[in-house]
Amino acid sequence: MTTEQLVAQIYKKKSFLCIGLDTDLEKVPSHLLEEEDPIFAFNKAIIDATHDICVSYKPNIAFYEAYGIKGWQALEKTIRYLNENFPEQFTIADAKRGDIGNTSTRYAKAFLEDLQFDSVTIAPYMGKDSVEPFLAFKDKHTILLALTSNVGAFDFQTKLVDGKELYKTVLETSKSYENSENLMYVVGATKAEYLKEIRQIVPDSFLLVPGVGAQGGSLKDVCENGMNDKVGLLINSSRGIIYASAESDFADAARHKALELQRQMAELL
Amino acid sequence: MTTEQLVAQIYKKKSFLCIGLDTDLEKVPSHLLEEEDPIFAFNKAIIDATHDICVSYKPNIAFYEAYGIKGWQALEKTIRYLNENFPEQFTIADAKRGDIGNTSTRYAKAFLEDLQFDSVTIAPYMGKDSVEPFLAFKDKHTILLALTSNVGAFDFQTKLVDGKELYKTVLETSKSYENSENLMYVVGATKAEYLKEIRQIVPDSFLLVPGVGAQGGSLKDVCENGMNDKVGLLINSSRGIIYASAESDFADAARHKALELQRQMAELL
């Protein structure tokens, strides 16, 4: 999917909502556990109930890997279901990978080519040759961790490198990578005050913003500081939407929560 | 496996060799492609031919993920084969994961509990709460990326943070993490000159050193600068051993290459 197609979807749906599929068998409604593939059954119900009010789905790969082969089968079924039925959705493999060149090429192939995700999240620590294999895929997107929303973000990301926070060095350095037009960035909503400075470094890039809702960030603050003339924001919510109810009405409850966010987004667009 | 058990194996075998199982179907001997599971068939042959002269195996998870469910099945078979037949081997899931706390807990469960690896490699960018879920597993080890052997290492890892390279800040900060006694570190052999300084920060920790051989580092330099009184080194070689021959003699050729390294190690111990 091109960035232009994503922007068009955002204006069409008046939504820049990304729903995180952090599917956990200990949290899904118990009646689903009788299904042959409860993870996929849950995801399908969430997708069917929300696809018209969000523009993106983000399976968190750890939750699938934790179930071994069954988890991978559920992941494959989920991305196939999305690509076949809702190809207008921007799909994100939240994998946070990153390794030396020939290894990153493997991960890129797995997520962008075989599973056909539109994008994958990547950790920057190993630098240029760990990121560029992902950037090489045309009309695919590499979402680089810049400033994350967890407490550990202060261990290294905000440390000063030549008088400037490390995450800013990551943003600036990554702009020199080959095919850097395919970059997006993860910026946690708990640090909305930093978004203005981030926008000075990457004015045109899309930012994937987790941490609205469950982790405490404010949607209005994020938009005021982070929106650009092509919106440039994907706001992710995972647990706040998909676990809105643990009963048989879970999909309706998820839609209700997603709709609350989408209505706020429509006003902010 | 405890660190003491690993050290005992090193002295018993006069080897601190780790063999990287970066198994690539485009590089394995063509006669193996007729097998039901060529990845496992290749790994089993390599393991059978080398287990008495190495102390560790390190499957590079990207190579398995690239083959989807078949890759995961091959990974499961490989680790089960190792744990059932060669429980004295220190097994490393080279996954380079790292995410917010509840997600890292998932990855930790997948690799350390379900697959029963002895250790997993982790990227430090997201800090404390992304690393500690791995450290919580008793007698398991978290191998944190410090200074990697690729060119991208110079993008961020060697940048000065308060006058000190970022990788040194990673080493120092990680020592304050809960259960930090379960930490080991990745330090590339292409930077052997840095090992002396690294040893001042983490005198007692094991270092996993890639980049001897194919990536150009010298075993002697690494030992002179990086060995401690409990050896404290695992030297990884992947392609240089497992792809020594692409013919039917591949396992013998791998043993021959591994033996060359093991003999050098015996002299250096």
Among the listed residues A14, A70, A96, A109, the single catalytic one is A96
Q: Are strands A233-237 and A119-122 parallel, antiparallel or unpaired?
A: unpaired
Residue A98 in tokens: 């990153």
B107, A65 Cβ separation under 8 angstroms: yes
Name the DSSP class of B257: H
Which of A100, A125, A154 lies at the smallest CB-CB distance from B156?
A: A125
Query: CA-CA distance, A93 to A117, in Å (whole number)?
Result: 6
Residue in chain B closest to A24 (alpha carbons) equals B106
B124 interfacial to chain A (CB closer than 8 Å): yes
C-beta neighbour count of A3 within 10 angstroms = 18
Taking CB atoms and an 8 Å cutoff, what residues of chain A touch B161?
156, 159-161, 166
Compute the C-alpha angle B8/B12/B16, nearest 5°.
75
Instruction: State the pLDDT at residue B162.
Output: 84
Question: Which distant-in-sequence residues (6+ apart) come within 8 Å of A106 by Cβ?
Answer: B60, B62, B63, B65, B66
pLDDT at A190 over 90: no
Q: Judge whether residue A216 has pLDDT over 60.
A: no
pLDDT above 90: residue B257: yes
Secondary structure of residue A236 in the 3-state scheme = strand
Closest alpha carbon within chain A to B105? A62
**pLDDT tens digit string along A121-158?**
999 999 999 999 999 999 999 999 999 989 999 999 99
- Within 8 A by CB and 6+ apart from A20, the residues are A57, A58, A59, A60, A94, A210, A236, A237, A238, A239, A241, A242
- Tens of pLDDT, residue by residue over A108-123, are 999 999 999 999 999 9
* CB-based contacts of A267, cutoff 8 Å, min separation 6: none
Q: Is the pLDDT of residue B215 over 60?
A: no
Closest residue of chain A to B65, computed from CA coordinates: A110
Q: How confident is the model at residue B212 (pLDDT cuts 50, 70, 90)?
A: confident
- Nearest by Cα to B144 from B159, B124, B163, B161: B124
User: Which residues of A are less than 8 Å from B109 in CB distance?
Assistant: 66
Mean pLDDT in residue range B118-139: 97
- State the pLDDT at residue A192: 72
**Which residues, including other chains, have CB under 8 Å from residue B167's CB and lie 6 or more apart?**
B146, B147, B157, B158
With an 8 Å Cβ cutoff, is A22 touching chain B?
Answer: yes
Distances (CA, A) of A194 to A130, A190, A219: 26, 9, 14
**CA-based Rg of chain A, rounded to a whole angstrom?**
18
- Is some CB atom of chain A closer than 8 A to the CB atom of B60? yes
Cβ pair B152:A128 closer than 8 A: yes
Lowest mean pLDDT among A48-52, B194-198, B217-221: B217-221
Stretch among A41-45, A243-247, B49-53, B190-194 having the lowest mean pLDDT: B190-194
Contact (CB<8Å) B150/A65: no
- What does the pLDDT read at residue B203? 97
Pairing between strand A164-165 and A160-161?
A: antiparallel
Distance CA(B176)–CA(B87), nearest Å, equals 31
The phi, psi pair for B259, rounded to 5°, reads -65, -35
Residue B122 has pLDDT above 90, yes or no: yes
Report the pLDDT value the prediction gives residue B236, as an integer from 0 to 100.
95
Distance from CA of B32 to the nearest CA of A (A): 21
* Mean pLDDT for the stretch of residues A199-214: 90
Rounded to whole angstroms, the Cα distance separating A199 from A207 reads 9
A114 and chain B in contact, CB less than 8 A: yes
User: In whole numbers, what is the pLDDT of chain B averaged over residues?
Assistant: 95
**What pLDDT score does B105 carry?**
94
Look-up of token digits 């390294």: B261
Q: Where are the domains of chain B?
A: 3-268
Chain B residue nearest residue A215, CA to CA: B100
Which of the four pLDDT bands, split at 50, 70 and 90, describes residue B213? low
| Contact state of B152 with A131 under an 8 Å Cβ cutoff | yes
C-alpha span between A236 and A255 (Å, rounded): 14
Q: Given an 8 Å threshold on Cβ–Cβ distance, is A62 in contact with B151?
A: no
Contact between residue B127 and residue A154 where contact means Cβ atoms under 8 Å apart: yes
- Superfamily of B3-268 according to CATH: Aldolase class I (3.20.20.70)
**Mean pLDDT, residues B136-164:** 94
Contact A160 B156 (CB under 8 A): no
pLDDT tens sequence across B83-93? 999 999 999 99
Find tokens 């068998």 and name the residue.
A25
